[in-house]
Amino acid sequence: MRFLLTIAVLFLLPFAGYYTWRGIKAAMTVRRSADEEAGSPSDGLPPPPLQVLALVGAGLAITGILALALGGVFGGSGQTGQFHPPTLEGGRVVPGRIDPVEQRREAPPEEGQEPAGDGARG
């Protein structure tokens, strides 16, 4: 279901953007015609559609980058360990898993053996 919803949203986004752009353009046309009827000079023309679309695209790109960055910082799984991918054993699929990392402790030096170090004696 989540996959289909993602595909549907990505499919409908360009249509939503187009109809939003048409609505803004129609509103600007109505405002411009009302200004002309009132006799006031139009002080600013709306920016060309290409500039508006470029700004919207840049804003969406920045938003996406921030979402990925914040998702990695705050939404991480927090699981650490050794990943074992799914395997096929005896005609059965064994799901993947993450085994916790074992804390490695250095074994104490055996008798007659020097502790690990740079070998310099002081």
Instruction: State the SS3 of 24-92.
Output: HHHHHHHHHHHHHHHCCCCCCCCCCHHHHHHHHHHHHHHHHHHHHHHHHHHCCCCCCCEEECCEEECCE
113 within domain boundaries: no
Whole-number Å distance between alpha carbons of 99 and 108:
26
* Res 108: pLDDT: 63
Domain-located, residue 55: no
Structural domain that includes position 18: 1-38
Is 4 part of a structural domain of the chain? yes
What tens-digit pLDDT sequence spans the chain (122 residues)?
777 777 888 888 888 888 888 888 888 887 777 666 666 555 555 567 777 788 888 888 888 888 888 877 776 666 678 889 999 999 999 999 988 877 666 666 666 666 555 555 54
Number of domains the chain contains: 1
Q: Name the pTM for this structure.
A: 0.33
| Residue 32, in any domain of the structure | yes
Instruction: Give residue 122's pLDDT.
Output: 47
What the block records as the tokens of 79 is 């699981």
User: Is residue 122 in some structural domain?
Assistant: no
Establish if 71 belongs to a structural domain. Answer: no
Q: What is the pLDDT of residue 86?
A: 95
Residue 11's pLDDT is 85
Indicate the angle between helix axes 2-38 and 49-74, nearest 10 degrees.
Answer: 140
pLDDT at 54: 81
**Is there a domain that residue 58 lies in?**
no
Q: Is residue 67 a part of any domain in this protein?
A: no
CA dihedral of 64, 65, 68, 70, whole degrees rounded to 10: -110
